[in-house]
Amino acid sequence: MSTQIKTLIKRFEKQIDIYKQSDYNETQTRIDFVNPFFMALGWDINNEKSVAEVYRPV
């Protein structure tokens, strides 16, 4: 498991009460965890390679 993913897990475990609150929404979840998770797996989430949309895996 990558260091980045371990860091995400530790952050989640440490602050789980914040993430369970009703005002912590889907957008925040994506920014804090989903995008960093896929980036740790090597996905080009922000299209930094400027690939045309039809060829993007994301």
Model-level pTM greater than 0.85?
no
User: Which DSSP state fits 24?
Assistant: S
The rounded mean pLDDT for the chain is 92
Dist CA 58 CA 50 (whole Å): 12
Q: pLDDT-based confidence at 8, cuts 50/70/90?
A: very high
pLDDT of residue 39: 92
Give the start-to-end residue ranges of the domains of the chain: 3-55
Q: Is 51 left (phi over 0), alpha (psi -120 to 50) or beta?
A: beta
Determine contact, residues 26/58, Cβ cutoff 8 Å: no
